[in-house]
Structure 1
Amino acid sequence: MTQDRKLDHIQLAFESQTGLMEHDQRFMYEPLLAAHPVDGEQAFLFLGKMIRSPFWVSSMTGGTGVARKINENIAQACREFGFGMGLGSCRKILFDKTYWADFDMREIIGPDQPFWANLGIAQVESLLKDKNEQAIIDLVGELRADGLIVHVNPLQEWFQPEGDRIERPPIETIELLMSRMHLPIIVKEVGQGMGEASLKRLLRLPLAAIEFAAYGGTNFSNLELMREDPAMQEMYQPFAFVGQTAAQMVKSVNRLLQEIGEPQCRQLIISGGVKNYLDGYYLTSLSQLPAVYGMASAVLKHATNDYQELKTYIENQLKALRLAQQYLTLNPEYDGA
């Protein structure tokens, strides 16, 4: 009733005041130029497939037994809402099928959505050294994945008590991998992002995409440090706070495009510290290359329970994203990172 609504307004007027500290200066709010969004999605081409949402569920989990339900929920959401999924590290199923069902999601996600396998740079380096790249080809083929994500994680491997030692610069391993097979490849970090020199080398390769996994979200180097003894934690803790944010990386890529001209890699997955739809909208709008935005921990939180919880979360995120697309444009005067 109108009377109840007006009473609510009076009671909430003081509580609803906003301050300058919370002001989001990334956007210009334009209330006059669009109607409310209507239901419906506009498909666009990304990673060779038509997707309906500029969203990506970043590589997270697998090989633990309990991960199967999580991945099933995520794959089902990808199918329903039209976006892509990267698996967690598939190392455990390279030569042992015990946990195969945790990763085997093609039937659930369906044939039309991007679905990518994942291996670490240390495992790729070892397989190439043994001239066993066929194991990678078999993994991707048996999963019916669209290609391989290679996660580059030298700090995580160094801090991990069971970690492998990387014997050559990862860029050399990636170039060798691409010279020996014709699988589509995505390269990503694991929570600390990459500087301009690394991005420049990757942009010059015919990669399917670069995924940022930037500083500001789940940081696997820090995660591994938490598993170390206190002396090691104290020694290496400063490394947990170095890296590049997603906004810094977008701006780096934009600058590099002016320097190198037409890159061979022309698609980005912007992830790392993306907390919600406004972060994703801002970063993908800022990017001069076609981009989707990735979220990991927020999705994982809702994917651990029943599917309806995850569905509701993603549905609300995408509705809010459409609202942002209608009324917000980038603020040209904003220069924050």
Structure 2
Amino acid sequence: MEKIEHESLEAADLRKQNHLDLAFASQSALSDGRFYYEPMLEGHPEQSDMSIQLGEKTMRYPIWISSMTGGTSAAGPLNKMLAKTANKYGFGMGLGSCRVILEDNTYFDDFNLRPILGDASPLFANVGIAQIERLIDKGQTSKLKALVDKLDADGLIVHVNPLQEWLQPEGDLIQRSPLVTIKQLLNEIDTNIIVKEVGQGFGPESMRELLKLPILAIDFAANGGTNFSKLELLRNEPLKAHYEDVIALGHSAYEMVDFLNKSIQELGSERKCNNVIISGGIKNFLDGYYLTSKANIPAIYGQAAPFLKHANESQEALDTFAEIQIKGLLMAQKFLKIR
């Protein structure tokens, strides 16, 4: 950012008056106890290498646009805006559930983002565990590989959502442990697999078992962000009064980082998964920086609702939000140390 070399007397006078006017409003009694603030050690950075590897792709920044939606009239334009931003800044991106295009290409254009995203950034298709269970039972897992291929995706996200399906009026109940299904899937198709939740996160035993699988990454989708179980309960009026407390079940991203680090220590060479996407309640770059720094394996942070909110405004608003994340991460990297 270019600085003005010489400030006029009038501009300086206005700036100082602003300082006086805002002094009382600027007082703060709180401090962020997650960090040590170290102002003595670095200058203002112009840029910094924050790139991170995910599979065979290198992201320029450790930021993931989390899975949202597709197959509606509004979804296509929003997905394309998100892909443009991911391409511009080198973010990774997960598609919303691709179930609707497994066998019918009516809505394919909503999901066909590789031409917009470009080849450099990771893009992942997304199918639910209940659908994968049925495809395995029918001997049709080749449809999943075909889905990945036609989207020119880097792999498949498997979203594990038993609580959502249980609360959904049209929900598909799963018949087996998701671990059994994912192990079968790994044996039947050759593609990168990411396993994610949809708003409750994973408890310590689930985290431990996932880390033992040869999957590319675990996407937390922790309690605290967009909660698809809550979304379904809002659609299911007869159950709403009886199951509202169920929505509080699950684990925060902070808890899950602790589960992750403990399991890494305990598993040793048994661990096969080497990446995580920390998502669910990540409100800003400070949350992202703190949690990815605390994780003991390579980590990126994901957001869904904040990106969607700005995409609903305009492409310019979305890009501005992305730049704020990047500049904030750069500041944090230079001046903040994790406690």
TM-score (norm 2): 0.95
> What are the Cα deviations for residues 220-278 of structure 1, in whole angstroms up to 9, with x where unaligned?
0010000012x411111111001010011011110111111132001000000001000
Which of 253, 258, 269 is equivalent to 1:246? 253
Counterpart check, 1:124 vs 2:151? no
> How far 1:304 moved relative to its partner?
2.2
5 Å-filtered alignment, 1:87-126, equals 87-126=95-134
> What are the Cα deviations for residues 79-137 of structure 1, in whole angstroms up to 9, with x where unaligned?
11011000000001111111100000010001110000000000000100100001111
5 Å-filtered alignment, 1:43-122, equals 43-122=51-130
Which of 204, 217, 222 is equivalent to 1:209? 217
Task: Give unmatched runs, 5+ long, in structure 1.
Answer: 332-337
> How far 1:9 moved relative to its partner?
1.5
CA distance in 1, matches of 2:54, 2:175: 34
Counterpart check, 1:4 vs 2:14? yes
Q: Is the 8 A contact 1:69 1:304 kept in 2?
A: no
Which of 111, 117, 140 is equivalent to 2:148? 140
Partner of 1:256: 263
Counterpart check, 1:13 vs 2:23? yes
Amino acid at match of 1:135: K
SS at match of 1:261: helix
CA root-mean-square deviation: 1.0
Q: Is the 8 A contact 2:126 2:157 kept in 1?
A: yes
CA distance in 1, matches of 2:133, 2:36: 47
> What are the Cα deviations for residues 123-169 of structure 1, in whole angstroms up to 9, with x where unaligned?
00010010000111111111110000000000000100011010111
Q: Is the 8 A contact 2:63 2:301 kept in 1?
A: yes
Partner of 1:292: 300
Which of 222, 234, 241 is equivalent to 2:241? 234
Counterpart check, 1:152 vs 2:160? yes
SS at match of 1:292: strand
CA distance in 2, matches of 1:67, 1:46: 26
> What are the Cα deviations for residues 271-315 of structure 1, in whole angstroms up to 9, with x where unaligned?
000010000000000000100000000000111243111111111
SS at match of 1:293: strand
SS at match of 1:85: strand
Q: Is the 8 A contact 1:65 1:99 kept in 2?
A: no
Partner of 2:3: none
5 Å-filtered alignment, 1:264-275, equals 264-275=272-283
CA distance in 2, matches of 1:44, 1:239: 36
> How far 1:42 moved relative to its partner?
4.1
Partner of 1:334: none
CA distance in 2, matches of 1:171, 1:329: 37
CA distance in 1, matches of 2:177, 2:58: 35
Amino acid at match of 1:17: Q
Q: Is the 8 A contact 2:50 2:62 kept in 1?
A: no
> How far 1:40 moved relative to its partner?
5.3
SS at match of 1:320: helix
Partner of 2:233: 225
Q: Is the 8 A contact 1:217 1:272 kept in 2?
A: yes
> What are the Cα deviations for residues 15-68 of structure 1, in whole angstroms up to 9, with x where unaligned?
100013xx2110000000000010354433222211101100010011112111
CA distance in 2, matches of 1:42, 1:255: 26
Which of 309, 317, 321 is equivalent to 2:325? 317
Which of 169, 172, 180 is equivalent to 1:161? 169
Count of aligned pairs between the two proteins? 328
CA distance in 2, matches of 1:160, 1:300: 23
Amino acid at match of 2:41: L
Counterpart check, 1:179 vs 2:197? no
SS at match of 1:148: strand
CA distance in 2, matches of 1:65, 1:226: 22
Q: Is the 8 A contact 1:154 1:166 kept in 2?
A: yes
SS at match of 1:304: helix
